[in-house]
């Protein structure tokens, strides 16, 4: 492949405006013209208008979806570099038909594991509410929940769920788990009791979701599952918003049928300012920052540079795996 002297590269959704600071982009000097966008566009037509001049798109996780309707309207597009090992919001069938390679980067689940525990512990000890009370001049308004002796339910016992189990044991918690293909051998490896799906929801004091979003997991947690939970239980979701049926979650929290939920992911991101989830007092919510750490960003953007250089040098990337 013969690259043009200056390939136009777009870095999308750099919310913190740090992409150029957290990686060495000098290998692209004289070879690429880089444009950074630190805002988010939700309208597909606006996305197409913005990205039409670019040959290379650098996308952060699922912040800007690239469905077929967008990809087919970007005739100059020649390469997509996505952070992480997978990106369900890119239509890989469309890129395959166009012959557009999709390169990915390194990824480490450690930030998400740590953040999941941060949410769980903040919920158990009412840290956001106590901090707000402290700043307002008040003192000691809540009673926390001991983790020791409680049951952590894990919806998924993969790379993240298994590490969650190990930390739970250090706190003196019992762990139970379910997923569609989970085996007793896998559970035994991590000291976790395999249970039926209904039992997972009924027995958990804290229920953490650690599944990949797929056709099978989308909408997996609905009104029936939430209805099985204890009134004192918390739901924690740092995986993907659509795994939980949003309307069912809002109804459950509005009617205070469980103690609360701590979530970092949503059906629509960024979440609209007037969204009902923003108004629920028993929801601890953060703006999808579970993976957002300096070390992770250095990996993402550093590998992005390497991928673009390799493409300019003629390297062929394997077609990314189609989602199941």
Residues recognised as catalytic: 240, 269, 288
The phi and psi torsions of 82 (rounded to 5 degrees) equal -110, 135
258: which residues sit within 8 A by CB, 6+ positions away? 226, 229, 230, 231, 232, 233, 234, 235, 252
Locus of tokens 């012959």:
99
Neighbours of 181 (CB within 10 A): 6
Check if the beta carbon of residue 194 is closer than 8 Å to that of residue 143. no
DSSP 109: S
For residues 194 and 183, give the distance between their C-alpha atoms in angstroms, rounded to a whole number: 8
CA atoms of 65 and 317, how far apart (whole Å): 21
Kindly write down the DSSP assignment for every residue of 131-171, as one continuous string: HHHHHTT----------TT-EEEEE--SHHHHHHHHHHHHT
Residue with tokens 């979530």: 263
Question: Alpha helices of the chain — where are they, by DSSP H?
Answer: 44-51, 68-71, 92-98, 110-124, 127-135, 159-170, 184-189, 197-203, 223-227, 246-254, 294-312
End-to-end CA distance of the chain: 32
Calpha distance 238→211 (Å, rounded): 9
| 9, 54 contact by CB (below 8 A) | yes
The whole-angstrom separation of Cα 57 and Cα 320 is 16
């Amino acid at each position: 492949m013969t690259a043009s002297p200056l390939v136009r590269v777009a870095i999308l959704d750099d919310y913190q405006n740090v992409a150029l600071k957290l990686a060495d982009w000098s290998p692209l000097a004289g070879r690429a013209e880089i444009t950074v966008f630190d805002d988010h566009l939700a309208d597909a037509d606006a996305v197409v208008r913005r990205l039409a001049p670019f040959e290379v798109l650098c996308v952060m996780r699922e912040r800007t979806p690239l469905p077929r309707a967008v990809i087919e309207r970007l005739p100059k597009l020649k390469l997509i570099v996505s952070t992480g090992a997978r990106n369900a919001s890119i239509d890989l069938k469309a890129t395959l038909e166009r012959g557009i390679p999709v390169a990915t980067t390194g990824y480490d689940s450690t930030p998400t594991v740590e953040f999941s525990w941060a949410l769980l512990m903040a919920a158990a000890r009412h840290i956001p509410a106590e901090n707000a009370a402290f700043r307002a001049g008040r003192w000691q308004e809540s009673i926390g929940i001991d983790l020791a002796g409680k049951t952590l339910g894990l919806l998924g016992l993969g790379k993240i769920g298994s590490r969650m189990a190990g930390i739970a044991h250090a706190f003196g918690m019992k762990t139970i788990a379910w997923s569609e293909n989970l085996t007793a051998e896998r559970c035994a490896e991590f000291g976790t009791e395999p249970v039926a799906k209904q039992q997972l929801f009924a027995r958990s004091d804290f229920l953490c979701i650690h599944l990949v979003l797929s056709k099978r997991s989308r909408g997996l947690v609905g009104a029936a599952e939430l209805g099985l939970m204890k009134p004192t239980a918390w739901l924690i979701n740092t995986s993907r918003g659509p795994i939980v049926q949003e309307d069912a979650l809002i109804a459950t929290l509005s009617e205070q049928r469980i103690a609360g939920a701590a979530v970092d992911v949503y059906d629509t991101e960024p979440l609209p300012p007037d969204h009902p989830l923003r108004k629920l007092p028993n929801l601890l919510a953060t703006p999808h920052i579970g993976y957002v750490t300096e070390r992770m960003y250095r990996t993402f953007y550093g590998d992005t540079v390497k991928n673009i250089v390799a493409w300019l040098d003629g390297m062929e990337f394997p077609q990314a795996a189609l989602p199941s």
